Structure formats: structure tokens, C-alpha cells
Amino acid sequence: MKLHHINSNRLELETIYDVIFTNKQLILSEEAILKVEKCRAYLDAKMKTHSAPIYGINTGFGSLCNVKIGEDHLQQLQENLVKSHACGTGEEVPKEIVKLMLLLKIQSISYGHSGAQLATVNRLIDFYNNDLLPVIYTQGSLGASGDLAPLAHLALPLIGLGEVYVDGAKISGAEMLEKFGWEKINLKSKEGLALLNGTQFMSAYGIINLIKSYKLSYLADLIGTVSLEAFDGRVEPFNELIHLIRPHNGQLKTAKRITEFLAGSELIKQDKVHVQDPYSFRCMPQVHGATKDTLDFVAKTLLTEINSVTDNPNIFVEEDTIISGGNFHGQPLALALDYLAIAMAELGSISERRTYQLISGERGLPSFLVANPGLNSGFMIPQYTAASIVSQTKQYCTPSSIDSIVSSNGQEDHVSMGANAATKIKRVVDNITTVLAIELLNASQALHFRDLKTSDLIQSFVNSFRQEVSIVEEDRVLHNDIKTSESFIDNLTVEVGELFG
């Protein structure tokens, strides 16, 4: 059994990628156990000697923060919080994101500033290790007292409520407890807030789709290079000299990568009749590179977030103080996720333009990349599909982070709407996957009409694709080919060094 120890070591994208895709089990380190227990013991002792109101521990929540709650009602207060905040609606959150939410919530609590019981943390680890995935919904979070509604649904099964997926079947929280022979967790003071405050919904959406974005960034370079070869493009725009005098990191990396993809190609070396290529080919280093630089900025923001404590109030044992602040506010994530959406949309935008150029009957390619155009429509309509998706993606890029609605009777008067930015980035990334799948479908078809050889790397890539999608000799239902092309992209494995290096 492969284990990942929850401790104070920084989570990196490579770590998360490894934990998720090698199905590692979680275990608390001795360091984390000590921190959790020490924080809980401190809070229990504080509650015995401290009679004044402490927000969220012996008071109501939000605009009810001035209502003091008696000691004999503190457990009910925390359970009521979880139940009353489980107001999610919309679609169910994908299981891979729910599982990452569990990991990120466990990580945040393990720092020992949240006041959760060790039993609560261990039960969350049990959920993760046994693939017990609470049913969570996409709508309901304002991204500013944390992701209250989604995290409430994450927490419900702890107290025997809500629904959980077990072995692919949806059962109630009560049935889950019975199935595993568990008692429900009796939440202590502050624990409801520890579970519900936090940015794990936004962060999990962000991390999963950032990792996918890194993969799509790599594939945009590779598929774009297939298109360049199929279009009989020129190599000069990728010469390192022009990029060294405008040395954006992403631009340099893209030009270098495309040059490596082209190594050994006869096609790229042949004499060209045309002096220049359209921008969608010539400016791949500049456009794809700008997206790469954005991914690195977003990664910095997300990694800071997932290695942080984001609930409220925060408990500082050594300093003997409890501080109510606003670490749950999702503004950094909202801005970063909006930026990520825009950057990924541009990969789709330039990809669709390359597809358009390939079907236009230029540079010796047949119109719509098919024999007998007219009788056959060939690849005319996949470009329509790509264009419609690109347009929809632009609409998804309307920023969420500039919006705010007053909530909680005016107490929570500025919110981030980062949760909306988070669910939108998934739609954007899904759309870009389809647009690149359509480009690959067109580029591989166009390359079929070239007599000279491309590079070994590109030919190997296209040969792998050909095992899934055959050459289109005459009109057929291309929906099936597009879906197969999407699956091909989804199932491709890219080395971690290529993803994040």
C-alpha cells in the first residue's frame, strides 16, 4: 500500500498529481497528530475558563455573531450549523474534485489552528481512503465565508446525514455509518466552522483544472505542430534568436518545444513558396507562451492557498490567543481562476483558427480535407463546432471576481464569487479539450495529403491517433470521431517533467 503522510511539508502540484493518480492512501504524521490534539486540548481548556463570547465557538454565526450560546448547547450549535448550511443545488460535483476537497480539508485542519478533534480528522481520512465521496453540489457558495454550502455537504456524513457514493452507489450518511460500523462524530465547539469555513471547493476545482490545463498546454504545442506540418508551415518563427530578444519564459519554452517536435522533419525543411504563415501558426510561441506564464502565476496562487489555514476563527496555542479574521475570503482564487479561464480560452481561439486554415483549400490541401469536395462536405462542419465552442468559452470568461452580492444581513458585505469562477474553469477546460480534439482530427487528416515525412515524434503521435480514428475517405458521422479524439486526449499520459517543468 502506498501512503502519503499528512504533515507540514508543502503540497506541490507534483505531490498532488502523484497522490491522486497512484491512488495513495492518507495517514496523519506524528507531527500532525500532535498539532491537532494540542489545539483541541487548548480550546477545551479555554472553554472552561473563558466566559466572554468568542465568535463561532460560543456565539451564533454571520450576522448572529453577537448571540452568545450556552455551554450545554455547543454541540447542537455545531450540528445545526452543518445542517442549516447544506443548501447546495445544481449538478453534482465530479468525484475527482470531491476526493481532492477531502485531501485539502484534511491538510488545512492538520496545521493545528482549527480546533478539530483528532477523531474528526481521522474520519475524513477514512472517507478518502475508502473512496466514500459525499454528494456535493456545484451551486451555493459565494466564495467568501469559505465555501459554506459545498463544505456543509462534505461534512454531513460525519454526523450521519447527507448522501455518499460507496462503490459507485449512492447511499445515505446513516447507511454509510451502519455499513462500516461507525458512530457519528459528536462535533465539539468550533468544529462546524472548522469544517465549513475554508476554500477547499474553489481550490479543488482550481487544482484539478490547473493540472489539466498544463496537459492541454503541452498538447496545444504538439497538436499545433502537427497543424504546422500539415499546412506546410515555416520553421523560422521558432528560431531561438527572436525569442531571446523578447524573453518571456513561456514564449521561450514554446518555441524550444516546437523546435524539438520538428527535429528530423523533411516537411519543415522543404523549400517554401510562401514567405510567411498566418499568425495562428507563426505566433504560437507568443500566444501559447502567454498561457504558460499565466499557468505558472495561477499555480503560485493555488499552491499558497492549499498550504494555508483558511477557516475562522484561528487558534494560536503558543500565543494563547484566538483571532477572528477573514482567511476564508476567496478573492485571490477568484482572480486567479478568472485569469486561468481567459488564458485557456486563448488556446482554444488560436486552435480554431488553425483548423480554419487547414480546411480552406490552401497550400495544396483539398477543400475541407476530403476527396470529391461537393459530393462530400468533409471537415466543413467540425470547424463550425469548434467556432461555436470558442464563442461559448468567451462568454464563460466574463469575470466572476468583479461581482459581489451582500449576504448575511449585511455582515458579509463583500464576497468573491470565486466558486462561480471555479465551476466555470471546468467548463472552459472541457471546451478547450474539445477544440483541440477537433484540431487534431483536422491536422492528422491534412498531414495524410503530404508526401514528405514529418518528424519521428510527430509521426508516432499521429500513428497512435490513427489507431483510434481512421482517415476520412468519404462523409461519415464525425460526431463519433470528435468524441473518440476527445477520449484520446483525455487518456494520453504526459510525463510530469513535461507537465510542470
* 55 flagged as catalytic: yes
Active-site choice (42, 55, 205, 396) = 55
Quick one: CA torsion of 286, 292, 294, 297, rounded to 10 degrees?
A: -140
**Is residue 260 classed as helix, strand or coil in its secondary structure?**
helix
Question: Which residue has 500539415 as its cell numbers?
Answer: 230
- Per-residue HEC secondary structure of 308-360 comes to CCCCCCEEECCCCEEECCCCCCCHHHHHHHHHHHHHHHHHHHHHHHHHHHHCC
Question: Alpha carbon 187 to chain centroid distance?
Answer: 31
Question: Which residue has 492549499 as its cell numbers?
Answer: 306
**Is residue 198 classed as helix, strand or coil in its secondary structure?**
coil
* Eight-class DSSP state of 183: P
**Is residue 294 classed as helix, strand or coil in its secondary structure?**
helix
Q: How many CB atoms lie within 10 A of CB 460?
A: 11
CA dist 297 and 280 (Å) reads 24
Residue 133 to residues 99, 167, 455: CA-CA distances in angstroms? 6, 10, 45
Determine how β-strand 163-166 pairs with β-strand 133-134. antiparallel
Question: Which residue has 463570547 as its cell numbers?
Answer: 53
* Eight-class DSSP state of 372: S
257: which residues sit within 8 A by CB, 6+ positions away? 218, 221
Exposure string of 372-390, with b = 16+ CB inside 10 Å and e = fewer, is: ebeebebbbebbebbbebb
Do 442 and 359 meet the contact criterion of CB atoms below 8 Å apart? Answer: yes
Do 281 and 312 meet the contact criterion of CB atoms below 8 Å apart? Answer: no
Which one, of 140, 139, 108, 112, lies nearest residue 124 by Cα? 108
Which one, of 62, 196, 210, lies nearest residue 116 by Cα? 196
Report phi then psi at 163, rounded to 5: -130, 155
Q: Which residues pair with 4 in a beta bridge?
A: 26
Do 142 and 412 meet the contact criterion of CB atoms below 8 Å apart? Answer: yes
CA dist 62 and 412 (Å) reads 7
- Which residues are known to be catalytic? 55
